[in-house]
A = this chain, B = another copy of it.
Amino acid sequence: MTRALLDSVRAYRRGHAAKVLADFAELLALDNVTGDVPALHRNAAALAEAFTARGARMQVVALDGVAPVVVGRLGTDPARPTLGVYVHYDGQPVGTGDWRTPPFEPTLCTPDGRAIPFPANGDPIDDDWRIYARAAADDKAPFAALLTALDALHDAEARLAVNLVLCFEGEEESGSAHLRGYLQALRDQLRADAWLVCDGPVHHSGAPQIVLGVRGFTGFDLTVYGPLTEIHSGHYGNWAPNPALDLVRLLATCKDDAGTVTVDGFYDTTRPVTPADVAALQALPEVEPALLQRLGLAEAEIAGGRLTDQMMRPSFNLRGLSAGDVGAHARNAVPAHATASVDIRLAAGDEPDRMLRLVREHVARQGFHVLDREPTDQERRSHRRLARFTPTAGYPAVRVPADLPIVARLARAATEAAGREAVVMPTLGGSLPLHDLVDVLAAPTVILPIANADNNQHAANENLRVGQLWYGVDLWALLLTQPW
């Protein structure tokens, strides 16, 4: 790609910025909570329509009662390499609290959090403005970037140097239970020389980032049972067992004061960190002091701990606790049950089923009779400590070699698009269903994030920094036109 072409792409996106943001906001206004199949169908249809309008041949493929996968192709020149592009279009649940603006009413804000109207054509636009909405960063941003890049290249009458194969998933945020089946069924349509997984944030330092792997994922809910119904805490409290107290005493046995998970065997299968990994990790800029500042924390869980070191190990995160009520709604009663929800991030080498088995065995060793359903009355009467263990679907981690030629090419394009040296990250902290992609599609697979690191992904007030969208447009313009 000539420098002139990149300049004309930039001129195009500056000239059409209002329209680009408006189109992006329209996509974000489509609610896309994972598991809401009718809503996800609406998102799939909108995406198919948008890429069809850019000349792609699109298809919405749906298993009954499951979010569809959207597949497509743009270009069929056998002389060009074919790049696979994976994006997911479902979002995390939005919860009940703490959103300053409704999650599906995309809102533009200044860096100090003031909501402002979306710009009109020709208005100046600040790269540090942010668009707030569920999925603004995770993971609808790549759609807006790729669509805009295609428009800009079309406007410049540029010739594409690659064919694209598209695969947009709608079930990533709930564990990708059907992705493997979809990929197997569509394998012939999805042949590509390499796959780019467009998801995740750039480096905390703001540097562009190429990511060679992801952690796997699993998790579980654990419900501990007390009396059949809530009972008065004066008449029965401290005589009847309290399931909330039993639960906290159980959870306290899962991790020690030093931040180490104390479930037997938890770290045994984790693939050891190699010298190459260590070199890549050590090359990464230090982010911890700035992160502590931004998150309002005095210290990491392990005092002085490096963020990237933690990503090479499996994690145990207590994502939720629920029993009775707190605050104004607290009732003076012994709760009938108490539930904890835990997510486990897996490092390369860990298997989801084995990790869940280890936790379940740990619960049993603490004196609990463990079930995978509600207890019967007979079971309640037979076991002083009774727990229900409900696993979350999961998948293993993957990590690709750092010396693949595509890694260097991507790093060069990212460096040029951002005007700043790209970093190469051995693994992302988050999880993606790369395992199924790598396994079924059998092509080199690398992750290419564009979102800002402080995007509040998975939480309230998710947002995308506008400048990240422009980075994505420029990066895609380079990837679509550079020689491979």
Please indicate the chain B residues that have their CB under 8 angstroms from the CB of A386 in the complex: 298
Please indicate the chain B residues that have their CB under 8 angstroms from the CB of A78 in the complex: none
Contact call B231/A295, Cβ cutoff below 8 A: yes
| Cα–Cα distance between A331 and B430 once the two chains are bound (Å) | 13
* One of B320, B323, B380, B457 near A296 (C-beta < 8 A): B380
| Cα–Cα distance between A295 and B380 once the two chains are bound (Å) | 9
Q: What 5 A-B pairs are tightest by C-beta distance, nearest first?
A: A234-B430, A230-B459, A252-B252, A320-B324, A238-B315
Task: Please choose the segment from A278-286, A335-343, A404-412 that sits at the chain B interface, where 4 or more of its residues have CB less than 8 A away.
Answer: A335-343
A93: CB under 8 A from chain B?
Answer: yes
Please indicate the chain B residues that have their CB under 8 angstroms from the CB of A430 in the complex: 232, 234-235
| Cα–Cα distance between A475 and B304 once the two chains are bound (Å) | 70
With A229-B459, A231-B295, A238-B259 already in contact, the answer to whether A318 and B329 are too (CB < 8 A) is no
Chain A: how many interface residues by the 8 Å CB criterion? 101
Contact call B319/A332, Cβ cutoff below 8 A: yes
Task: Please choose the segment from A82-90, A241-249, A348-356 that sits at the chain B interface, where 4 or more of its residues have CB less than 8 A away.
Answer: A241-249
Contact call A459/B343, Cβ cutoff below 8 A: no
Please indicate the chain B residues that have their CB under 8 angstroms from the CB of A319 in the complex: 233, 244, 324-325, 330-335
Please indicate the chain B residues that have their CB under 8 angstroms from the CB of A277 in the complex: none
A327: CB under 8 A from chain B?
Answer: yes
* One of B299, B313, B334 near A238 (C-beta < 8 A): B313
Contact call A297/B233, Cβ cutoff below 8 A: no
| Cα–Cα distance between A249 and B228 once the two chains are bound (Å) | 26
A105: CB under 8 A from chain B?
Answer: no
List residues 362-380 of chain A with CB under 8 A from any CB of chain B. 377, 380
| Cα–Cα distance between A428 and B318 once the two chains are bound (Å) | 38
Q: Looking across the interface, which residue of chain B has its beta carbon closest to that of A302?
A: B239
With A235-B428, A383-B298 already in contact, the answer to whether A456 and B229 are too (CB < 8 A) is yes
Contact call B339/A326, Cβ cutoff below 8 A: yes
List residues 382-409 of chain A with CB under 8 A from any CB of chain B. 382-384, 386
